[in-house]
Amino acid sequence: MNLLEVKNLNVYTQDKIQLLKEVNLIVKPNSIHAILGPNGSGKTTLANTLMGLVTNKIVKGKIIFAGQNITNLPTFKRAKMGLTLAWQEPARFEGIKVCDYLGLGMKNYDKEEINRALNLVGLEPKIYCERLVDEKLSGGERKRIELAAVLLMKPRLMILDEPDAGLDIIVYNEFYELLATVKKETGAGIMLITHREEAGLIADSATLLWRGKMIISSNFRQTMRRYCEMSGRKKTCKLKTCLK
């Protein structure tokens, strides 16, 4: 069974501006699906639509998650079914301890579970649990903490909106490896919204959006090639070195 199926999805604003046109894509369980596209192409709109966070918009088409039509379900029900979204600009809880931050969403604070999540994202609990969520954490450490927070929701599909934004070249390669590990360890699916061709190191499949329109949804290599062609970057795209 497919984990997520998006069928002929169209999204409009109330005053009929079309934000997404005929998006069709499939995410398989235990796979990483990249969403590619330039600024303003509709990636975040797609993520919000999948999560049900577009209440003032008109949504046509179908979203099937784990075999169930969720197109009209409220966000909390989607979340209960195991769909999670980490925001492009996540809310900051400055000044509280990392472990307290991670425990915020838990019914009963479970230290062992938090430690497991920290270990999985490569942060030693002994060092990080008591640290404060503040600007002293590096960008990469923050991303890892955000990912740990997502993992604690026990998602079946994690939608990550540009988790690689703002990371430097070494850190984002590490971060991709981490996502591959998380996929393997949890069996969850990951929808990775990104600008980076290096995502091909871990992505199993990909969709390209362009001005709200789905251009192609295929394996990463073919989708990335199309993206390079359309953005006139044929020469600069590092297809050979970056793709599996």
Question: Can you give the binding site for ligand ATP, defined by CB under 6 A?
Answer: 13, 17, 19, 37, 39-45, 88
> What's the rounded Cα separation, in Å, for the pair 75 and 80?
9
> What's the rounded Cα separation, in Å, for the pair 207 and 227?
10
Q: How far is the CB of 59 from ligand ATP (least distance, A)?
A: 13
Residue nearest to Mg ion (CB): 44
187 binds, among ligand ATP, Mg ion, none (CB under 5 to 8 A by kind): none
Residues 6+ apart with CB under 8 A from 162: 43, 88, 193, 194, 195
> What's the rounded Cα separation, in Å, for the pair 134 and 131?
9
Scan for tokens 């997404």, then name that residue. Answer: 20
> What's the rounded Cα separation, in Å, for the pair 75 and 57?
14
Q: How far is the CB of 42 from ligand ATP (least distance, A)?
A: 4
- Would you say 44 or 115 has its CB closer to Mg ion? 44
Partners of residue 139 on adjacent β-strands: none
DSSP secondary structure string, 156-212? Answer: SEEEEESTTTT--HHHHHHHHHHHHHHHHHH--EEEEE-S-GGGGGT-SEEEEEETT
14 binds, among Mg ion, ligand ATP, none (CB under 5 to 8 A by kind): none
138 binds, among Mg ion, ligand ATP, none (CB under 5 to 8 A by kind): none
Does the protein bind Mg ion through residue 44 (CB under 5 A)? Answer: yes
- Would you say 39 or 108 has its CB closer to ligand ATP? 39
13 binds, among ligand ATP, Mg ion, none (CB under 5 to 8 A by kind): ligand ATP
Q: How far is the CB of 190 from ligand ATP (least distance, A)?
A: 17
If you ran DSSP here, which 8-state letter would residue 214 be given? E
Q: How far is the CB of 202 from ligand ATP (least distance, A)?
A: 20
**Which residues ranging from 114 to 143 are in contact with Mg ion (CB under 5 A)?**
none
Contacts with Mg ion by CB under 5 A lie at 43-44
